[in-house]
Amino acid sequence: MYAATLLGLLAGAATSEALKYDVPTSIKATNCPLPANYTVSDFTIYTDTANNTKSATTFSFSDPSTGIETFCSRNSTSKPSATGTNRWPCDNSMVAFIWQTTGIAGLTMIEQACPGSVPQFEASGLIAPELACTNSTSGSTCVAKQSPIFGDFDSFEPAPPS
């Protein structure tokens, strides 16, 4: 009994130590796997100089703690996750991203935590890929100098209303 209690406490300490954010008690009680860290691979941005509708952002996302692996992209046919936002959904609807070059520049990854919980929470984290760009007469292609890029989810907040 004592050993089982001690192991449970150690497991809980190890889990919370790996997380870079505080978890509300209501979510802790669900015992679901929480987003802790992630990788972004093959991050590429193409910017067309003549026709902006041909511009695109693409990469692969993986979260080992939740088992999510998905492809993420934004192009002329993409629709934001919610009207009036700059959040772009990945192929797995539990993951979205924001790419911005102004303000706090970088790639923000957003992942739903414990789907079905009420209220719904999401984890987010920012990475700033260092890019190598090649220019041509038709446009510019930029790729991350490092792949994969490792990131931590360091924010845990209620999801905005959809």
Q: What is the pLDDT of residues 126-156, one digit of tens each?
A: 999 999 999 999 999 999 999 999 999 999 9
Report pTM. Answer: 0.84
pLDDT at 109: 98
| Residues of the chain falling short of pLDDT 50 | 1-17
- Residues of the chain with pLDDT > 90, as a percent, come to 59
CATH number of the domain at 2-158, please? 2.40.350.20
Residues 6+ apart with CB under 8 A from 111: 35, 38, 63, 66, 68, 94, 95, 122, 123, 124, 153
pLDDT at residue 14, as a whole number: 39
Predicted local distance difference test score (pLDDT) of residue 1:
39
* pLDDT value of residue 149: 97
Can you give the pLDDT at residue 162? 66
